[in-house]
Amino acid sequence: MMSAIRFFGTASLLVSLLASGQSHAQPDASLSPRLSVPNRTPKFIARDPARHPVQELAFLGLTPTSSVIEIWPGSGYWTEILAPYLHDHGRYALALGDINGSHVEKAFAKPPSFLSQPPAAAPYDRITLTELAQGHDQIGVPGSADIVLTFRNLHNWMQQGDVPEMLAAIHRVLKPGGIFGVEDHRSHLPGLQDPKAKDGYVQQDYAIRLIEAAGFRLVGTSEINANPKDTTNWPKGVWTLPPSLALGDKNRERYIAIGEADNFVLKFVRIGQ
């Protein structure tokens, strides 16, 4: 079933997400200062030391002319960064979950709250909203995107059991040679990977095998979001750690001292025609 493509902002926005940037262009030298955008949410700014947005986006090959789709943006940490950066010369789409889908999809069905009252002003007025959820096989014109990004969502797709379908839709929308950037919580537990990733952690080798089996080739890994303090063995899984702190006040200071989870960052290119 083809997903509906919805629009946010000006009617002149191109559905195709076509952009003049090349998939393998060098990162913009001005990336760091241009990400210091005004009026960012304070709680997002506080997470920058753990998430290293400038380094991560540079590693993944972002340029101001890139055509970018972000899958399941959640609260909008990356939206506040990517929307102004791509506003003038690039294209930026958010692929949401399905409000009528599984409970996981419903959690990602709404755009970030600061986009919920259209019409949005710049830099959010040129964002495209589309959908990537179970049963939806198209998130944009095939072969139109330079870069597809997803941050800490692979474990969600594993939980709902539709990783092949989600990856197939991403493969379809990317240009040949286009970049697929994936960040998620890295498991260090021995033994076989839980295919449902119920603790929110994914073994890095397992993630690579899943994604390469869907028509991608790994071209780079980054340790910018590594956290050796994270043993990945917690009472409430990854949600024990910040920012969720699922145990509330119990051992709160201990978990805050550990910090956010150990995360891998993987860079793939789409192979095939």
CATH number for the domain harbouring residue 185: 3.40.50.150
pLDDT in tens, 88-97: 999 999 999 9
pLDDT in tens, 61-89: 999 999 999 999 999 999 999 998 999 99
* Position 1 in a domain: no
Preceding peptide of 243 cis, ω within 30°: yes
Sheet containing 174-185: give its strands across: 6-7, 127-131, 91-96, 67-71, 145-151, 174-185, 263-270, 216-222
CA-based R_g, the chain, Å? 18
Coil/strand/helix, residue 10: coil
Domain coverage including residue 160: 6-270
CA–CA separation, 40 and 51 (whole Å): 15
The answer, yes or no, to whether residue 185 has pLDDT greater than 50, is yes
* Position 179 in a domain: yes
- Of 37-41, 70-74, 198-202, the range with the lowest mean pLDDT is 37-41
| Higher pLDDT among residues 17 and 32, named by residue | 32
* Mean pLDDT for the chain overall: 86
Give the pLDDT confidence score for residue 173 in this predicted structure.
Answer: 96
Answer yes or no: are the C-beta atoms of 196 and 160 closer than 8 Å.
no
**C-beta contacts of 188-197 below 8 A and 24+ residues apart:** 188/230, 188/231, 188/232, 188/233, 188/262, 189/232, 189/233, 195/158, 195/161, 196/158, 196/159, 196/161, 197/154, 197/155, 197/158, 197/159
pLDDT band of 25, cuts 50, 70, 90: very low
Nearest to 31 by CA among 79, 68, 63, 65: 63
pLDDT in tens, 124-144: 899 999 988 767 767 889 999
Which residue has tokens 């139109």?
A: 144
Q: Both tokens of residue 45? A: 């700014």
pLDDT band of 168, cuts 50, 70, 90: very high
* Position 195 in a domain: yes
Amino acid occupying residue 243: P
**Cα of 49 vs its chain's centroid, Å:** 18
pLDDT band of 22, cuts 50, 70, 90: very low
* Position 52 in a domain: yes
**pTM, rounded to two decimals:** 0.88
Give the pLDDT confidence score for residue 131 in this predicted structure.
Answer: 87
pLDDT band of 122, cuts 50, 70, 90: confident
The answer, yes or no, to whether residue 9 has pLDDT greater than 80, is no
- Total count of domains within the chain: 1
Coil/strand/helix, residue 269: strand
% of the chain at pLDDT higher than 70: 84
